[in-house]
Structure 1
């Protein structure tokens, strides 16, 4: 076993960190692989309902078409996963190593 200790991080704390740092996130929706929602988290609750500012749909099968949505509320039941930053800018980069993917998931300045 390695000398590193494993630390458990609560999902709500990760969402809170995105809220505090105003990072742009990409939310994959449950049972919908055609597009994802990107934006900045400006609010959430204990059910992981999330309010996003500057939200947009990013279509994965239509040449990365973007549709501006503005401020939206996503019900937590519809969210499958949350990732850092704009994933369309990172698609060509393949991370290597255990934690190296975190380097590629940092938000980009717009």
Structure 2
């Protein structure tokens, strides 16, 4: 029989997720606004209320050519960010 307990969904605020990526030093992938074939991958060093993000150990990933170019430490303006997610282990290797 099914339990009569109600499951409660917890909403996560975007800033809280970004802060978790920062504190756990999670490697993330950032999709860029006007460049559908380019992604930036790195570890968040800092961010602000405009979603400007500093990435360390960053790489430019071209999904069309399947290439990766190291760029080091960069600042991404929030206007250029479409989506952020944790990088999978297979993508980081």
- Fold shared, TM-score > 0.5 on shorter chain: yes
Matched, 1:85 2:49: no
Contact 1:52 1:72 (8 Å CA) reproduced: yes
SS of the aligned residue for 2:54 comes to strand
Task: Give the strand-richer structure, 1 or 2.
Answer: 2
Give CA-to-partner distance per residue, 1:21-67, whole Å, 9 cap, x none. Answer: 001000001121111000000000000100000000011000x2000
Q: CA RMSD in A?
A: 1.8
TM-score, reference length from structure 1: 0.75
Q: Kindly report structure 1 stretches of 4+ aligned residues shifted beyond 4 Å.
A: none
TM-score, reference length from structure 2: 0.88
1:50 to 48, 53, 66: 53
Matched, 1:9 2:12: yes
Q: Distance in 2 between matches of 1:27 and 1:19?
A: 14
Q: Distance in 1 between matches of 2:88 and 2:39?
A: 10
Matched, 1:33 2:36: yes
Map of 2:67 onto structure 1: 65
Structure 1, gaps ≥5 residues long:
91-107
Q: Number of paired residues? A: 89
Structure 2, gaps ≥5 residues long:
none
SS of the aligned residue for 1:33 comes to coil
Q: Distance in 2 between matches of 1:7 and 1:59?
A: 35
1:23 to 26, 31, 41: 26
